[in-house]
């Protein structure tokens, strides 16, 4: 009998395992043959703590000290926002919401020389965003969990969940286990896991986001360029391993699955990016997609299910899973361990599944 079974080995599940392992025996069940196979493994990998709704921002800000305690986890990146004359309202909203500082277009072109001066009429910059080494963070949490005796089982797609007198019985091909508390951190599959356990689903929606890796403009070193946004986040571009990744930033509802990029959507996003720069996209190096899963109000769900206190939601991280992971997993441990949360009470309430009751 385990104290905790965590379903899902993405950033939500493995960070929760690291925090819960000091409190009791932990079993993590991951359906794929590696941790962070789905959304976690396809993240844009940015720590921008002012990005998202207020509860997300609170979790992200609460993650900063933990992240800075891991050597080489964060590296400077920065953000740049660009817009045309007809996009001023969206530009102003982004400047206010994400704490950008407006800068002259000429200065923006000194930083990113391929910006088209005939199109870009507004620019803003923020220095506070940093890249996250997502693999390093996943492995860091996994090491913490294992150091406290946690067991991580791969290729363990859950096939059955049954309530018992003392908690839960969970089965998967080739194995079974029991635990007192079930933690649902199954990403795009969280509602399906809940239904298997007899818990009412909360209406999570997986939304596809596609990405393309393109060559860096000839003769230019993009490694120090900031991440580049269109207003209203209708596209973005980010340096990555000597190339650029460009996303149409789409949010197309999908059924839970191993996602792939939609070629037409990708082409539209690349065209939006090309509309702001002087260098055309000549070829793709690679493309992929991930599913960013949101609750109906686009705020993560962290807390005990009101109808069964032996079932714990850790779900709906959307596009904020990595940057909020340290704060979110600490909240999981605080709630499960019965200690006063380090996050303020209003944020705890905003994240609770009780808001849907």
pLDDT in tens, 284-328: 999 999 999 999 999 999 999 999 999 999 999 998 999 999 999
Name the nearest CA neighbour of 231 among 77, 75, 102.
102
User: Residue 74: what pLDDT?
Assistant: 97
Q: If you average pLDDT over every residue of the chain, what do you get?
A: 95
Q: Dump the DSSP string for 65-93.
A: HHHHTSTTSEEE--EEEEE-GGGHHHHHH
Q: How many CB atoms lie within 10 A of CB 338?
A: 7
User: Residue 39: what pLDDT?
Assistant: 60
Name the nearest CA neighbour of 182 among 348, 305, 30.
305
220 against 51, higher pLDDT: 220
Given the structure tokens 């990595």, which residue do they identify?
A: 322
Local confidence band at 98 (pLDDT 50, 70, 90 cut-offs):
confident
Give the largest Cα separation in the chain, rounded.
69
Local confidence band at 36 (pLDDT 50, 70, 90 cut-offs):
confident
Q: 79-126+205-294 maps to which CATH number?
A: 3.30.9.10
Local confidence band at 42 (pLDDT 50, 70, 90 cut-offs):
low
Number of H helices, E strands in the chain: 9, 20
User: Residue 342: what pLDDT?
Assistant: 94
Q: Average the pLDDT over each of 114-123, 154-163, 249-258 and give the range with the smallest value.
A: 249-258
- Mean pLDDT for 146-154 is 98
Cβ-based neighbours of 9, under 8 Å, separated by 6 or more: 28, 29, 30, 32, 35, 36, 37, 152, 154
End-to-end CA distance of the chain: 30
At 339-348, the pLDDT tens digits run 999 999 999 9
At 248-261, the pLDDT tens digits run 999 999 999 889 99
Domain 2-67+133-203+296-356 matches domain 79-126+205-294 at the CATH topology level: no
Given the structure tokens 């493309």, which residue do they identify?
A: 287
Q: How many CA atoms lie within 13 A of 339 on its CB side?
A: 12
Domain ranges of the chain: 2-67+133-203+296-356, 79-126+205-294
Q: Check if the beta carbon of residue 243 is closer than 8 Å to that of residue 211.
A: no
Residue 132's SS3 state is strand
Given the structure tokens 């949490």, which residue do they identify?
A: 141
Q: What is the pTM of this model?
A: 0.94
Architecture in CATH for domain 2-67+133-203+296-356? 3-Layer(bba) Sandwich (3.50)
User: Residue 50: what pLDDT?
Assistant: 86
Q: Average the pLDDT over each of 140-149, 260-269, 344-353 and give the range with the smallest value.
A: 260-269
Q: Average the pLDDT over each of 111-115, 182-186, 205-209, 217-221 and give the range with the smallest value.
A: 217-221
User: Residue 45: what pLDDT?
Assistant: 84
């Amino acid at each position: 009998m385990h104290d905790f079974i965590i379903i899902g080995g993405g950033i939500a599940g493995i960070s929760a395992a690291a925090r819960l392992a000091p409190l009791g025996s932990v079993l993590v069940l991951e359906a794929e043959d590696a941790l962070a196979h789905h959304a976690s493994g396809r993240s844009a990998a940015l720590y921008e703590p002012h990005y998202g709704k207020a509860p997300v921002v609170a979790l992200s800000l609460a993650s900063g000290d933990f992240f800075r305690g891991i050597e080489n986890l964060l590296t400077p990146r920065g953000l740049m926002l660009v817009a045309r004359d007809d996009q001023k309202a969206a530009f102003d909203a982004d400047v206010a919401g994400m704490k950008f500082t407006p800068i002259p277009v000429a200065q923006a072109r000194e930083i990113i020389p391929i910006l088209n001066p005939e199109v870009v009429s507004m620019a803003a910059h923020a220095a506070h965003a940093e890249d996250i080494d997502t693999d390093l963070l996943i492995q860091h949490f996994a090491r913490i969990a294992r150091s406290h005796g946690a067991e991580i089982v791969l290729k363990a797609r859950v096939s059955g969940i049954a309530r018992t007198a003392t908690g839960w019985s969970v089965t998967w091909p080739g194995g079974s286990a029991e635990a007192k508390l079930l933690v649902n951190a199954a990403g795009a599959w969280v509602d399906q896991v809940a239904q298997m356990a007899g818990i009412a689903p909360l209406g999570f929606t997986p939304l596809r986001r596609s990405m393309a890796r393109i060559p860096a403009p000839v003769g230019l070193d993009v490694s120090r360029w900031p991440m580049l946004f269109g207003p209203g986040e209708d596209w973005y571009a980010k340096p990555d391993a000597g190339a650029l990744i460009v996303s149409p930033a789409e949010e197309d509802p999908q059924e839970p699955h191993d996602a792939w990029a939609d070629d037409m959507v990708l082409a539209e996003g690349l065209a939006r990016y090309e509309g702001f720069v002087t260098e055309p996209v000549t070829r793709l190096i690679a493309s992929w997609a991930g599913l960013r899963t949101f609750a109906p109000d686009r705020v993560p769900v962290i807390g005990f299910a009101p109808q069964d206190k032996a079932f714990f939601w850790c779900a709906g991280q959307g596009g904020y899973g990595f940057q909020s992971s340290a704060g979110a997993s600490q909240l999981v441990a605080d709630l499960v361990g019965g200690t006063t949360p380090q996050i303020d009470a209003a944020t705890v309430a905003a994240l609770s599944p009780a808001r849907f009751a």
